[in-house]
Structure 1
Amino acid sequence: MGGRVRRYRRFLRDAGAWARGRLPRGVAGGVRRHRWFLGVLGLGAALRVVTVLGYRPALWFPDSYTYVVTAIKPRPDLVRPAGYSMFLRLFEPFHSFALVASVQHLLGLLVGVLVYLTARRLGAPGWAAVLASVPPLLDAYQIELEHLLVSDTLFATLVMSAVCLAVSRATGPVSPGSSAPSRTGGLVAAGGIGLLVAAATLTRTVGLPLVALFAAWLVYRARGRVLAAGVMIAAALVPIAGYALWFHATYQRFGLVGANGVFLYGKTMTFADCAVMRPSPDLAVLCDPRPPAARPPAQEYVWSTDSPLVKLPGITFTEENDALAGRFASLAITRQPLDYLGSVLSELARSFTPDRPVYPDAEVYGYYEFPATPPLPPGRYPATEGAKFARRYEQGPIDVRIAEPYAGWMRAYQGVARLPGTAVLVIVLVPPVTAAARRLRRGPAGVSGGPAGAGSAAWPLPWATAVLLLVMPPAVAEFDYRYVLPAVPAACLAAAFMAPKPSLHNIPRNVRI
């Protein structure tokens, strides 16, 4: 009874504060405690509002039209899984790509909030948590990516949601004296992680290795108990297997996409030397006599009409062509493993350049810049066909309308507010280097002097997630600037976990922290 009375009095006190135009005591304390983050979040929200006002209804990428086609006519696509298309389908009754872009901006803000709250919850100092939220909230290229009708923002949100859930205390080890609800809560959280990873995989197939990564993490967190990992794997594989069955019903072959061999072939053509490979006659038709240094980027071997693969009969992504391309790529990798490794590392290094040199070509690079003039309508099939479905989705024109001065403000902002590749490299290196330094400083009594928060033990998962997302595209396809951005929030979270906290022994007694 006393508790109800106290809650009622607190309600009356807070209501009175609101009536007088003041923040209640608890709310005011929270605002003061998180004021720096709220400032960053507010600025990020304002920038996104300016973007929505400046570019209407949204910005288009060549892949966007395929996503819209699948949203209107649901079926597995041979090149891209249908997760993002189903996301678009959720908003199809509103007939507004502007709404889709606005929701993606909200997801971008959510990623920043997840980074900050998770960092604080696991003991990171406030300044580190705020800094970790800055790249996902304020990077101009991140904001531009959110305004593009592509899958990366949704993918990044799903991955970060899984990471933040996985490092939370809910999935931690179950102590012998703990209650059953705690164990049950951990299993429910593990199932949620699995569903998030499955959704990420069905949005971008690069998420599939995350199933193994998160399973290993749960086994580690549970001190060898595999039940949580088993629940997570089952929750992830059931939707993925269901999608594979849908794919089989459509194309009479199992898979999530039908282009893995094709993209890996494009990747290997950056180094493949048929004189070294000595391919069989059926594979030799895919050789390029030009030396690797004179060849175009990997994507041209997938899409260009000059590609040996594209010249083969039938569409590029038939089962036969994909299998042939996959066999060629496997032969190139096994016969030239060092060349393959060098190609992966050289592509990965593009993630860490101080500037943003044009790559893979000016056309693709231009899609990542806020335009000064309306982009031209698509000129390639099937984008021209997809544009018809897009107009049906919008129930009106889909041409990009540029409104000044808002668009000009974002172009100017993009010229100065971006995360350099060298900064990404530093962020990625901070956690392992800091962990190694603390091990070296560890005294004979085993005291490392590191932070007391749980985050100091949680950094491996977000760090490994970031590294995997950076490495996978160059390993199986090619580097692209937009593939770097989903890895940044996880890397920032890992770095925040390793930030030093002030020692209580070194703080004067009259200083409050």
Structure 2
Amino acid sequence: MRARSVLTHLPFGGVLAVALWIRIVAILGYPAPLWFGDSPSYLKDAIELRPGETRPSGYSLLLWLIKPLHSFTAMVSVQHAIGVLTGVLVYVLVWRAGRAAWPPGEGGRWREWLPGLAAALLTVPVLIPVHQVALEHMLMSDSLFEFLLLAAVAAVLWRRRTTWWLGALAGTFAAFASLTRTAGLPLIGLILAAMLIRKAGWKACAATTVAFALPVVGYLFWFHAEYGQYKFAKADQVFLYGRTAAFADCEIIKPRPELAIMCPRQSDPRISRTFSVMWTPDSPFRDIPGWVYGEEGNRLAGEFVWAAIKAQPAAYAQIIVRDTLKSFTWHRSPYPTPWTWLQYDFPQGEAWSDDQALLAEQYGDDGETKVVRPWAGQVLAYQDHVVMPGTILGVLLLGGLAGAALHVRNRGRWRPQRPVRHFATGALLPWGTSLALLVIPAATADFDYRYVLPAVPFACVALGLALLPPPRPPRPSPAPRDDDRPAARETAGV
């Protein structure tokens, strides 16, 4: 019986084997990480062990923990292990829900295989596409953020009614996810709302709130000790300014003379306006002391942001919708620049700057980008064929909604209240988290293909929980017959 139970996990074993193979080959072919524009600041904060100026340092703390190994290959291996654990967590959540919906021993043997098969299929978008593998290979925070947030959601969904200690776990994971990427901060509200819908009770909600608040407040005090401000970053208004630059029209806003310097300019039409006002010679911050890190630039950016949103609320909403829908396109386009989107692929050649070399020497001696044949050739061939278009993510999200509407139970009779309640207590949290991870960057920063990938595991979990029927209530035990009662008394010690 136990051997047959193990065999039900065979489909996931096949997916896991492919996932481990491509990650091992990627490490052999590219023993150093893929560097991105934000990578040096993450690494510098880890080496100096200080809060970052432009973004929280949760990821830098992970790099600091790995630093004693003095190996970028070890760092990349840890990130790939985190990526695999994310897929395992998706499998476990869907498999447990499937087991509750189709208890073993009921129906034919085929029902024993259904939970594992359904869960294994839903791990494919998380473990197999090449851009998920490449994201784990980058010196960036996204794979860690994805895992921490999924762990928080898993803690809430682990039992039908969240206990206080599971709530504390959820709050802790959500806090560290928020300190890895600020996009996680608003999601604590979604987690608490889901717990209330699931009737978690005040103890569980209080434990979640306290466990979330302690690391977050602790980080604020750490930031204050370093910079004299209670913030998550010095440039807390700068990125939102870049967002509003995508639609801001100063003829409509009519800013005061001092604020007019923030009116967006764009000289290269190939580059998005958001990117232009942040990082190119068109950026107004180049004429402001302190650049994006200075108090003056941050103050002017914040004032311009709220003036633009107040004057053009419809344009702001239109930009949010437009950039959210970009997540679901079939083919990638050169956005926000002709080169940014290409940095999320494994490269064919090697590139290494002097600044990167000087910084990397303080962490490990193997940070230089290397392309090792023949392993790199296998990764590049894989990259040419195993890609998940954004349209698949749209299908997963639509499938989660459709699953809530198409539940048919009890010999095909339609019961509208049961699907809605089942969706609200199960799939709503991961579904809402997935959508929020697409909307929040579109509302606060800019669209980037890198921001789409962390939404995938949550969409997969949501689809699995929405399509699976609700757990069956336990069958009442038959009433004991009169001739059985004496034996029952003896067994009970009465």
Give TM class, smaller chain. Answer: 0.7 to 0.9
Q: Which runs of 5+ in 2 are unaligned?
A: 102-114, 473-494
Q: Which position in structure 2 is the counterpart of 1:410? A: 379
Cα shift at 1:260: 2.3
AA at the equivalent of 1:473 = P
Partner-residue secondary structure (3-state), 1:203: coil
Deviates more, 1:289-298 or 1:86-95: 289-298
Change (3 A) 1:283 1:442: farther
**Matching of residue 167 in structure 1 with residue 157 in structure 2:** yes
Given candidates 46, 59, 76, the residue that maps to 1:71 is 46
Give deviations 1:99-157, integer Å, cap 9, x for gaps: 01011111111111110111011226333211110011101100011111110011111
Secondary structure at the counterpart of residue 497 of structure 1: helix
What root-mean-square deviation, in Å, do the aligned CA atoms of Structure 1 and Structure 2 show?
2.7
Q: Between Structure 1 and Structure 2, how many residues are aligned?
A: 457
Q: Which residue of 2 aligns with 1:346?
A: 322
Amino acid in structure 1 at the alignment position of 2:446: E
Query: What TM-score results when the alignment is normalised by the length of structure 2?
Result: 0.87
**Residue 136 in structure 1 maps to residue 105 in structure 2:** no
State the AA in 2 paired with 1:110.
L
Counterpart of 2:427 (choices 449, 454, 459) is 459
SS in 2 for 1:461: helix
Q: How does 1:303-452 map to 2 (within 5 A)?
A: 303-377=279-353, 384=355, 387-394=357-364, 396-438=365-407, 446=415
What is the one-letter code of the residue matched to 2:314? Answer: L
Superposition TM-score, scaled by structure 1 size? 0.84
CA distance in 1, matches of 2:300, 2:125: 42
Matched, 1:88 2:63: yes
CA contact (8 A) 1:442 1:449 kept: no
Unaligned runs of 5+ in 1: 1-24, 173-185, 379-383, 505-513
* Contact residue 264 and residue 273 of structure 2 kept, 8 A: no
Contact 1:270 1:297 in 2 (8 A): yes
CA change 1:441–1:419 in 2 (3 A) is farther
- CA distance in 1 between counterparts of 2:265 and 2:139 reads 38
Give the direction of change, closer, same or farther, for the CA distance of 1:77–1:115 in structure 2 (3 Å limit).
same
* Residue matched to 1:12: none
2:451 to 483, 494, 501: 483
Structure 1 residues 293 and 188: CA distance shift in structure 2, 3 A: same
Q: Which moved more, 1:458-467 or 1:256-265?
A: 256-265
The corresponding residue for 2:239 is: 263
Q: Distance in 1 between matches of 2:147 and 2:257?
A: 46
Shift of 1:391: 1.2
* Cα drift, residue 397 of structure 1: 4.7
* Shift, 1:487, TM fit: 0.8
CA distance change for structure 1 residues 434 and 319 in 2, over 3 Å: closer, same or farther? Answer: same
Deviation at 1:444, TM superposition (A): 8.2
503 and 231 in structure 1: CA distance in 2 versus 1, 3 angstrom threshold? closer
CA gap of 1:293–1:63, structure 2 versus 1, over 3 A, is closer
- For residues 131 and 259 of structure 1, the distance between their equivalents in structure 2, rounded to whole angstroms, comes to 41
Structure 1 letter corresponding to 2:39: S
* Deviation sequence 1:286-311 (CA, Å, 0-9, x none): 11366998973312212223211332
Q: Which residue of 2 aligns with 1:126?
A: 116
| C-alpha distance after superposition, 1:378-397 (max 9, x if no partner) | 6xxxxx2x642321110x25
What percentage of aligned pairs have identical amino acids?
39
CA 1:441/1:434 → structure 2, altered by over 3 Å: closer, same or farther? Answer: farther
SS in 1 for 2:285: coil
Once the two structures are TM-superposed, the CA of residue 328 in structure 1 deviates from its matched residue by: 0.3
Match of 1:193 among 147, 167, 170: 170
Deviation at 1:75, TM superposition (A): 1.3
1:50-79: CA deviations, max 9, x gaps? 000100122211211111111110111111
Q: CA deviation at 1:438?
A: 4.1
What SS does the corresponding residue of 2:309 show, helix, strand or coil?
A: helix
Cα 1:277–1:293 change in 2 (3 A) is farther
